[in-house]
Amino acid sequence: MQIARVALDVPLHRFFDYLVSERETLCATDVGLRVLVPFGRKAKIGIIVDLPASSDFPIAQLKSIETVLRDLPALPPDWFRLSEFCAAYYQAPLGEVMLSTLPAGLRRIDPPTARKSQSLLKLPPPQEAPELTAEQKTALATMADDGKGFKAYLLHGVTGSGKTEVYLRLVETALLAGQQVLLLVPEINLTPQLEARVAARFPSAGLVSLHSELSEAARTRNWRAAFEGRARIVLGTRLSIFTPMPDLGLIVVDEEHDSSFKQQDGMRYSARDVAVFRARERGIPIVLGSATPSLESWANATDSRTPARYTLLTLHERAVENARLPVVQRIDTRLEKLQNGFSGALLLAIEKRLERGEQSLVFLNRRGYAPVLTCTCCGWISHCTRCAANLVLHLADGCLRCHHCGFESRVPKGCPTCGNQDIQAFGRGTQQLEVVLAERFPQARILRIDRDSAKSRKQWEALVEQIYRGEADILVGTQMLAKGHDFPKLTLVGALGADAALFAADWRAPERLFAQLMQVAGRAGRAALPGEVLIQTQFPDHPLYAALVRHDYPAFANEQLKEREQAGFPPYTYQAMLRAEAPLMADTLAFLTSARAWPQLGMHGDVMLYDPVPMRLARRANLERAQLLIESPSRRALQNFLGAWGVALNAIKATSRLRWHLEVDPLEF
């Protein structure tokens, strides 16, 4: 009797043996086929990972495979190696990794039948490739000189410097060499422009996109096109890094610093880091591009003490002739009384744009009308009953809403505690700025762009269209607006409320702030009209703003890295986080305390475990949350420790409602 070892989507660190029915004879090339097998009382789809000569279980106990599915070719060995790497690195069960990275349509027994896909893709007409700038030529020549094989490049170029054009030339070369290309982007929602640009340049390359807004059937179809080699270019969000591509010859990660490359549940992987592993494994080049690289990548490309692991390529100037970087200025808000949050200088600048028929963007990274509603009589504040957080006032919908658990209630007419009729909004969000600007500039057409006004890709595209057609004079928006868009008439950006991130408890906050401001500044004056950026701040002398005014990312990054090295933070140390949640904090902390008291900890000398502490948002949706930080100067020591410890964690007795997970290289604290 032949035995097949099968990976299943279950949270266990093991495979399952099944008998192969007498009708079938499987051979080595069938490893990687999908199978339908009985599991418990149900049937499940699994993947054959081995055809072992014998099983650890008595043959009589093994069940038989119901069907060997041959609708899809066997998954290839490099796909297995990628899954194995991720399972080991991120401490996730291998079966779960393998199945969860397949499109849902291929791991379900009854996938929905394909509906006609509605492509949102519009082609802006096909464009000739421009003559390259000197800097673009140098970057491309450096890569061409390196020839074949693995090599990681960090393409650091200011916004509008022509990074995308560099990608397109690399794609062209790869396609001519008969290779496939994988282009990773942070949020496809925000980048229909890139999709259109790639399609216009390579109309016959069978470009497919892979992202979460596709229907299940469309996603399966596109994935198959890539796997079967019909699609030569794949443009996708983080999950697409797992797409098997037989001729893969180049990976590009655009906006490589973006935190949406990090998966936030299940296997918490970083698609950028997985991409680097995949490129190395396959022996192909990878390009990480950004105007504000992650500090990890910057250190990899510039650390002078160790041989640089990435090659740094720089584009200092904007590609379009005469398109200069915007002038960035600080407005010291200590010197004047603000008018509903606006400085006189910013209001005046907006007014000038209105007179000239140009667009302004007011940037505030907080949606809603106000972050909290308060009673000045008794001190009541709008708390979420399920979270340790405030309910945000959404005046446009007349409700209070929790941004953590989604809880909603009507705005009360008076104070729920003392009946006082005069309850007040405290602080400001984008909705309020919209209202303030409408009062101040009644003639202006104002458009708000945040996750409330652009919930779906369709809504987002409709808003973007409106901006393009010049149907808006003032845009009010969150970081959603900061990414990937050229609005030719936009010449002014005003940033409000940026200071909060300077002194945040999260030591990564300045890195994110700098990137956001740099991106949002990059929106101004991209075409013929020069741009201006005004940053309202109470700390005009802060080095972060000083570097921003000079568009000097390297100065900012090097300063931050120095601080991180002194403080012993990543990338100079390696971290993992054990997080737990349960209805009672006592249970949560008890679990983490047991985890920390693991008797074999002493054998892992290079690893340090901190004390368990409640998370900043200590309660969410009625679950009390805490975490335990693990740190080591050695990546390997940390990995060895996590491998052994992870097994031990499964054996800790805890209340049945306790949930925990391990995150390697956590980004948020």
> Residues 65 to 84: which contact ligand ADP by CB under 6 A?
none
Query: How many angstroms separate the CA atoms of 254 and 288, rounded?
Result: 6
Which CB, 159 or 390, lies closer to Zn ion?
A: 390
Q: Which stretch binds ligand ADP (CB under 6 A): 156-164, 260-268, 422-430, 603-611?
A: 156-164
Q: Which does 418 bind (CB under 5 to 8 A by kind): Zn ion, ligand ADP, none?
A: Zn ion
User: For the purposes of burial, counting CB atoms within 10 Å of the CB of 384, is it exposed (0-12), middle (13-18) or buried (19 or more)?
Assistant: buried
Using a CB cutoff of 8 Å and minimum separation of 24, what contacts does 261-265 make? 261/184, 261/186, 262/238, 262/667, 263/238, 263/239
Of 278, 258, 264, 270, the residue nearest 190 (C-alpha): 258
CB of 625 to ligand ADP, least distance (A): 38
Site size for ligand ADP (CB under 6 A): 15
Q: Which stretch binds Zn ion (CB under 5 A): 185-193, 264-272, 396-404, 436-444?
A: 396-404
Contact 47, 98 (CB under 8 A): yes
Strands 408-410 and 399-401: antiparallel
Q: Which does 159 bind (CB under 5 to 8 A by kind): Zn ion, ligand ADP, none?
A: ligand ADP
Which CB, 189 or 588, lies closer to Zn ion?
A: 588
Q: Which does 417 bind (CB under 5 to 8 A by kind): ligand ADP, Zn ion, none?
A: Zn ion
Q: Does residue 136 bind ligand ADP (CB under 6 A)?
A: yes
Q: Does residue 549 bind ligand ADP (CB under 6 A)?
A: no
Q: Does residue 378 bind Zn ion (CB under 5 A)?
A: yes
Of 63, 68, 97, the residue nearest 80 (C-alpha): 97
Q: Does residue 380 bind Zn ion (CB under 5 A)?
A: yes
Contact 210, 222 (CB under 8 A): yes
Which CB, 464 or 615, lies closer to Zn ion?
A: 615
Question: What would the DSSP string read from start to end of 244-313?
Answer: --TTEEEEEEETTT-GGGB--SSS--BHHHHHHHHHHHHT-EEEEEESS--HHHHHHHH-SSS--SSEEE
E strands in 333-414? 359-363, 372-375, 392-394, 399-401, 408-410
CB of 395 to Zn ion, least distance (A): 19
Q: Does residue 164 bind ligand ADP (CB under 6 A)?
A: yes
Q: Does residue 161 bind ligand ADP (CB under 6 A)?
A: yes
Which CB, 387 or 590, lies closer to Zn ion?
A: 387
CB of 133 to ligand ADP, least distance (A): 5
Query: How many angstroms separate the CA atoms of 619 and 406, rounded?
Result: 14
CB of 656 to Zn ion, least distance (A): 23
Q: Does residue 132 bind ligand ADP (CB under 6 A)?
A: yes
Q: Which of 259, 329, 420, 593 binds Zn ion (CB under 5 A)?
A: 420
Eight-state DSSP code of residue 133: P
Q: Does residue 194 bind Zn ion (CB under 5 A)?
A: no
Contact 199, 171 (CB under 8 A): no
Q: Which does 160 bind (CB under 5 to 8 A by kind): Zn ion, ligand ADP, none?
A: ligand ADP
Question: Which residue in the block uniquely carries the two structure tokens 């007349």?
Answer: 398
- Which tokens go with 461? 């595209």
Q: Which does 165 bind (CB under 5 to 8 A by kind): ligand ADP, Zn ion, none?
A: ligand ADP
Name every residue whose Cβ is closer than 8 Å to that of residue 343 and which is 6 or more positions away in sequence: 331, 333, 336, 534, 536
Q: Does residue 402 bind Zn ion (CB under 5 A)?
A: yes
Which CB, 129 or 378, lies closer to ligand ADP?
A: 129
Q: Which of 93, 105, 160, 368 binds ligand ADP (CB under 6 A)?
A: 160
Question: What would the DSSP string read from start to end of 167-228?
Answer: HHHHHHHHHHTT-EEEEE-S-GGG-HHHHHHHHHH-TTS--EEE-TTS-HHHHHHHHHHHHT
Site residues (CB under 5 A) for Zn ion? Answer: 375, 377-378, 380, 384, 386-387, 402, 404-405, 407, 415, 417-418, 420
Give residues in contact with ligand ADP (CB under 6 A): 130-133, 136, 157, 159-165, 319-320
